[in-house]
Chain A
Amino acid sequence: MSVDAARLERLLDRYLDEALTPEEKTELEQTLRAPPQAREMFWQHTRFHGVLREFGAEFRGRELAEERRRWRWNPATRRDGTPIRSLNGRMDEMLVFRRALSAKEVRGLSQSRPQPAAPLP
């Protein structure tokens, strides 16, 4: 029995992209049961998919490590990589943050502060 290579390739692509319908899955499994060429093709395609993922994961890992390194060595950037304009700008940001924090603390205190006791009649 010969293999319809184009059809098998399409089914393998759908398998790798997690897009097989139940009918297509049955068709793929039937094709893989019969001739050894189909199983060879399966390994060829799926192993390459694995190589691509390996490459992608390595690349992503290097990218993240580089991002982290840049952030560590350059405190004038935020964690997302956007630059903080100047030291003064940075101080301003810290000041705004501290003001916001103290305003919140004051609000919190005013809410939790016990009310003065009502004067005795």
Chain B
Amino acid sequence: MLFVPHASALRGFVHALMPDFARADDIVQETFLTITKKAAAFEPGTNFLGWACTIARFKVMEAGRKARNSTTLSPDIIESLCACEPESEASDERLRHLAECLKKLAPQSRPAVEMRYQQAHKPAEIAVRLGWTAESVYVALSRARALLRECAARKLAQEAR
């Protein structure tokens, strides 16, 4: 089945357009169901991931219309973002370096990162669980992401040399 080797890239695409992890997971599942239903319409040899992402994009826009909150971007913005979506980067490579990069996180920001990315909690829930203010959770997550992004990029660059 073509879906399996592209599942990770598709999930990454959906997470970019839908930051709510629970809803993003629903959209990936719905996309999978639609792909299964419409499998006969796919022409072998054409871009499967592109086709899957188009289906996922419509699912995200549909979810955004239903929810009408500030989590989802407007449909025209999603369209223009997808029009210039760059080629998928080496996410597997970055995954390999993340374990090492995570060790460099400040001890106080680690629980927030674990709750957000391992347990899929929303920042507001993390604030309650850790007894922090919401703003300190945002700051901790933002700093951690910047540090990890730089660390993974540096390791990839070192490897490429």
Contacts and interface: CB of A to CB of B under 8 A. Distances in A.
Interface of A: 9-10, 13-22, 24-25, 28-29, 32-33, 36, 39-40, 42-60, 63
A67 B8 CA distance: 25
B73 interface: yes
Contacts of A36: 84
Contacts of B122: 18
Contacts of B148: 48, 52
Contact of B149 (A18, A22, A48): A48
Given A16-B19, A17-B141, A50 B12 contact: yes
Contacts of A63: 118
Contact of A22 (B16, B70, B84, B119): B70
Interface of B: 8, 11-17, 19-21, 70-71, 73-74, 77, 80-81, 84-86, 88-89, 91, 94-95, 98-99, 113-114, 116-120, 122-123, 134, 137-138, 141-142, 145-146, 148-149, 152
A20 B118 contact: no
16 contacts: A13-B142, A15-B73, A17-B123, A17-B141, A24-B70, A32-B81, A33-B77, A40-B84, A43-B85, A45-B145, A48-B149, A49-B145, A50-B13, A51-B94, A53-B11, A53-B21
A32 B145 contact: no
A17 B113 CA distance: 11
Contacts of B20: 18
Given A17-B116, A32-B81, A55-B99, 20 more contacts: A13-B138, A13-B141, A15-B19, A17-B138, A18-B19, A19-B123, A33-B80, A36-B84, A46-B16, A47-B12, A48-B149, A48-B152, A49-B16, A49-B145, A50-B13, A51-B12, A52-B117, A53-B15, A56-B118, A57-B120
Question: Interface of chain B, helix or strand or loop or mixed?
Answer: helix
A16 B21 CA distance: 10
